[in-house]
Structure 1
Amino acid sequence: MKLIQVIFFFVFVMMQSLAQNIPHLAKKGSATQLIVDNQPFLMIAGEVHNSSASTVEYMEPLFPKLKRMNLNAVFVTLAWEQFEPQEGVYDFTLVNSIIENAEKNNLKVCLLWFASWKNGESSYAPLWVKKDTKRFFRVKTKDGLEIETLSPFCEATKLADAKAFKALMKHVREYDKNQTVILMQPQNEVGMFQDIDYNKLSLELFEKEVPESLMTYLKTHRNKLDDYIKNAWSKTNFKKSGTWIEVFGNTPEAKTFFTTWYYAQYINYVAKAGRDAYNLPMMVNAWIVQKPDDLPGVYPNGGPVSRVIDIWKAAAPDIDIQSPDIYLPNFKEIVAMYHREDNPLLIPESTSEVGRAFYAFGDHDAICYSPFGVEDAANDFLFTQSYKVLNEVQPLIKEYQGTGKMRAVLQEGDETYKDLYFGDYKVKVMYEKPKEPSFGIIIHTDNNEFIVIGMNLTVYFTSEKRDTIGYIGQVLEGRFEKEKWVTTRMLNGDETFHNSRLRVFGRTFETQEKIVEANKKEGEPDAYSPATNKVFTTPGVYKVITYQR
């Protein structure tokens, strides 16, 4: 008996150790971090085009290119139609190749499971699913026409999708010995382009009472609900039970809450099946609302847009993060909608405007920033060098996530400045060169010390203490090598107007292209001996020592 108990004890300890080593999410102060190999991991990432991993031949030369672009993670598509070309027959060729190529190039992976839906359509489902419209029925229009989108009310589709996803997750657990895959996304930008599914089953369910679990969530979180839900519910005086129309009124909102609930439940079922095989973190992404007055169906109705995050939280507990795909110009406003206490910020799709990455990591403790079609930015010098700087400073960013001592700035539109507050200091950040990227991260590393990372900024440090003036004592330009600060220049003269301000010029790289005409302003780095060649400017890193008296 003692021998058996010892064996069970060691098996238990081993299983606990393995579970802790699996990539997972963990709280750090007010932030949530992705833990990989027992360390916080910042996904300085990119998403490749939808078909870039559709063959081994096409993907093989892609991964070295991504590594040269200074990515440390990549979002890669795996299509259900290729993974399960015949029902019950699984082809592991592509997923194995993704893992192998990523591992060779020291890249971590988020697998995108394009299955029942992608961008509100169902083009990635297998042919054996698409052809059998009786077993796997489609969304119906108001006129009774079946469209190409698979219905979220179809039990057979949900079961088939979940079975395939579970097989995928089981294989990843067994094949991916070095945990190259760290995150999963079941489905992509889900939803239907109409107000409701007009299938008989859907309409019957719409007449039934709102599920008790949703009502319990709404009542428990009433004071924190998104205004879109709260305002709709308030029209019935926050009715505590009833049908969807009785609780939310005979409104477009009632239909979208209903549709959202069933999409979220479907995807949660798929995600849970996968997690039962291999418990990796799961996230979903949203084709976001493009205009505030857009009705559901103009954008994919049922997807995890910011308006219905709370519906998703109630319906899909096995989904860790709801994420926005951001191509609109009001980036800062959108990330604020998605970054919540119960929803860390993870951006799986956006543009290659790299200032967005700095802002997301610095101001919202983001887990990830990932431009879509990232391979298109391979020759974008600013992008690749900025990602290099992010890799350089990521240990510092991870250290200060969740502490309240790190903020970021990003110029949008006609903005000219931003005031930030750290301890006894007010930090005024002025945006320079309005036609060029202007962004940065400011970290309060000690009482009288700041690290500033960015480009095209002017920064003033003043005291918030009564009867006290704040001064800049020293400005050091430099870099981090193996997490240690290395000073490359001291900037205490013309470059800082004699320590009156920090001028974040950034790192410059001279090209072979000659300057035809140079007009330099006083105080710029080469004002007195103008450069003859054009230069590229990329983010720089600065240490500022301050004092008060």
Structure 2
Amino acid sequence: MRRTIAVALTGLAIAATAPQVAVARDSAATSLPRLERHDGRFSLIVDGEPYFILAAQLHNSNAWPDMLDASWKSVEALAANTVEAPVYWEQFEPEQGRFDTENVDALIAKARATDKRLVLLWFGTWKNGQMQYAPEWVKRDPATYPRQLDAHGQPLDNLSTFAPANLKADRRAFTALMAHLKEVDGNRHTVILVQVENEPGTFGAVRDHSPAANAAFAAPVPEGILKSVHRSSGSWQDVFGPDADEMFNAWANARYIGAVAQAGKRVYPLPMYVNCWLRYKDKKYPGMDYPSGGPTYNVFDIWRAASPAIDFIGTDLYTTNATEFRKVLDQYHRPDNPAWVSETGFEPGTAPLLYEVLARGGIGFSLFGIDNPPSDTQTATITAHARNYRLLGPINNLLARAMADGRLKAAIETAGASRRTLDFGDWRVRLAFGPPPWGSSPAIIPNSPDIDGRAFVIRLDADHFLVSGVDVRASFERTAEDGRRGQLLRVEEGVYRDGRWQAHRWLNGDEVDYGINFHKDARLVRVKVGAF
């Protein structure tokens, strides 16, 4: 049902460096989704329990009510527990001050009907480094809502972050969205995260050259930024030299987006993040290879200092190269930021890479553009990723809690490296990827034909481990130096139902003599170990 609301929002002037608003500790606030950090690890808490996001992201133009039934068929086939879907500023505020909640309400209703969670993506000032989703009344009035200017004074397809009217307009709309979510979902938590803007930054220039921007560029670098990058005082050019334009633009964008997020959190403090068009694959020219001033790794410290209301940064990581994937994850998996793949490419080759997120104790993984027309590629990709999602979904809470506690380890197969070892202190698990041979493994194990191997191991308690994998053999060895030898006491294949382990069969003899073999089928094995 279409619902239109008119909202007058006042008192929203927010300092970009203001601390996050403290939330009243009432029952509704304490049960809100939140990001927790402890012992250097992160957890997304949903309804009081750790939650690992297994997401399907809709195509950009498919978050309309009439498109949802068709799109949701792919969501269900993927077995996703979460759907990422955009909210379009141009649709949400078609006339200044009038807010249309039809699309948002349809998404929430569909997610509830299918027992899914939602991550809403605010397509406001930015979408892919441009102002594509700004309302028509903004686009038609550059005198009121100025554009960024390049070094020659020509307008760019970006709203200037130094124009108060631009910030006021985006902030007002975003706050109306958050107010509506609180009203319709504040006790249900269908929406668990909000992405503020989409791949922000500037194309066509490294920074804004409007008069207000030039004046800020010539001014001293703010003290908070200097502290974050461990530099002495001076202008942006003095402090950062040849990188000054990009660093300045990162500060400008982060400050602007942080103010938008802060305003929304004053109303309804859900966790909020920004996704990043990455500087990777040997791309190095800001404003050409990637949007200048987005939260790329080289300006990350500036972003964290300038946008305290943003809880974390996500990676839009489009590669099937495991080395490149790991490199980017390690750039963003930091003491102040969890591993979070906010988008990855819709292809079978990205499926094993989910296990790299598990290995880093990340908070989730999202497959972009899942709702395509039927094709062999669509079927193959959904099948490859659904193998992961269907395995991990039923143990989501156990999985997320194990990562929060540091009890999960994982690895994937890479070309030329078919062996890995997972160390649990008094025990280790040796992994041999590739087609499991009969009998003892040869000295050189070939990779599997599609290099699709992966495995994770969770230590359940002192004597029990949960194991699963694809194209891998797992062998347990006791490493405690107490003169005792390790042994497998029981190996069970089974499932978790309602949080309880149910064994289907016990494995022994040929199935465990040379390790526990996993092929393409997704299955769980619980191992009880002992010593004599």
Secondary structure of 1:446's partner? Answer: coil
Structure 1 residue 72 corresponds to structure 2 residue 76: no
Counterpart of 1:302?
293
Match of 1:33 among 31, 37, 43: 43
Equivalence for 1:425: 427
- Identity across matched positions, percent: 32
How does 1:366-515 map onto structure 2 within 5 Å?
366-376=362-372, 377=378, 380-432=382-434, 433-466=448-481, 469-496=485-512, 498=513, 500-505=514-519
Q: Which residue in 2 is equivalent to 1:51?
A: 61
* Residue range with higher mean Cα deviation, 194-203 or 374-383: 374-383
Aligned partners of 1:100 and 1:378: how far apart in 2? 27
Moved more, 111-120 or 177-186: 177-186
- Are 2:415 and 2:451, in contact at CA under 8 Å, matched by a contact in 1? no
Within 1, Cα distance between the matches of 2:470 and 2:30?
A: 39
Moved over 6 A (4+): none
The 5-angstrom pairing of residues 90-239 of structure 1 reads: 90-176=99-185, 177-193=187-203, 194-219=205-230, 238=231
RMSD: 2.1
Question: Equivalents in 1 of 2:32, 2:460: separation in Å?
Answer: 31
Residue 323 of structure 1 and its aligned partner are, at CA, apart by 0.8
d(CA) in 1 for partners of 2:290 and 2:106? 34
| Deviation of the 1:51 alpha carbon | 0.5
Partner of 1:246: 238
Secondary structure of the residue aligned to 1:412 is coil
- Give me the whole-angstrom Cα distance separating, in 1, the residues matched to 2:351 and 2:235: 47
| 1:463-507 superposed Cα distances (whole Å, 9 cap, x missing partner) | 3334555444443222222222222233322233x2x322122xx
Residue 375 of structure 1 aligns to a residue whose secondary structure is coil
Q: Which residue of 1 aligns with 2:356?
A: 359
Compute the displacement of 1:29 (Å). 4.2
Deviation at 1:163, TM superposition (A): 0.6
Q: Distance in 1 between matches of 2:84 and 2:154?
A: 35
How big is each residue's C-alpha offset from its partner over 1:344-376, in whole Å with a ceiling of 9 and x where there is no partner?
22221013533222331x312222211101234
- Asked whether the 8 Å contact 1:69–1:378 carries over to 2, the reply is no
CA deviations 1:261-283 (Å, max 9, x no partner) are: 00000001111111111111100
The alpha carbon displacement at 1:86 in A equals 1.1
Partner Cα separation in structure 2 for residue 436 and residue 472 of structure 1: 29
**TM superposition shift of 1:421:** 0.8
**Higher relative contact order, chain-length normalized (CA < 8 Å, sep 6+):** 2
TM-score normalised by length of structure 2: 0.85
- Opposite residue 478 of structure 1, the aligned amino acid is G
Checking the alignment, whether the CA contact within 8 Å between 1:386 and 1:538 is kept in structure 2 is no
CA contact (8 A) 2:361 2:404 kept: yes
| CA distance in 2: counterparts of 1:386 and 1:37, whole angstroms | 24
Query: What is the CA-CA distance between 1:439 and the residue it aligns to?
Result: 0.9
**SS of structure 2 residue aligned to 1:87:** coil
Question: Cα offset for 1:198?
Answer: 2.3
Residues 361 and 406 in structure 2, CA contact (< 8 A), matched pair in contact too? no
Kept in 2: contact 1:409–1:440 (CA 8 A): yes
Q: Does 1:350 align with 2:347?
A: no
The alignment status of 1:331 with 2:325, answered yes or no, reads yes
Aligned position for 1:521:
none
* Conservation of the 8 A alpha-carbon contact between 2:492 and 2:506: yes
| Distance in 1 of aligned mates of 2:222 and 2:113 | 48
- After superposition, the Cα gap between the structure-2 partners of 1:354 and 1:291, relative to the gap in structure 1 and judged at 3 Å, is closer
Q: Relative to structure 1, is the Cα distance of residues 293 and 371 closer, same or farther in structure 2, using a 3 angstrom cutoff?
A: closer
| Count of residues in Structure 1 that have an aligned counterpart in Structure 2 | 481
- Out of 85, 96, 119, the position equivalent to 1:87 is 96
Secondary structure of 1:370's counterpart equals: strand
Give the equivalent residue in structure 1 for 2:280. 290
Secondary structure class of the residue paired with 1:348? strand
Deviates more, 1:132-141 or 1:463-472: 463-472
Further displaced range: 386-395 or 28-37:
28-37
TM-score, normalised by the number of residues in structure 1? 0.83
Partner-residue secondary structure (3-state), 2:103: helix
The SS at the match of 2:124 is strand
Cα offset for 1:399? 2.5
CA offsets per residue over residues 499-548 of structure 1, 9 Å max, x none? Answer: x322122xxxxxxxxxxxxxxxxxxxxxxxxxxxxxxx332211223344
CA contact (8 A) 1:437 1:456 kept: yes
Query: How far 1:106 sits from its partner (Å)?
Result: 1.1
In structure 2, the CA distance between the partners of 1:67 and 1:162, relative to structure 1 (3 Å rule), is same
Q: Which structure has the larger Rg over C-alpha atoms?
A: 1
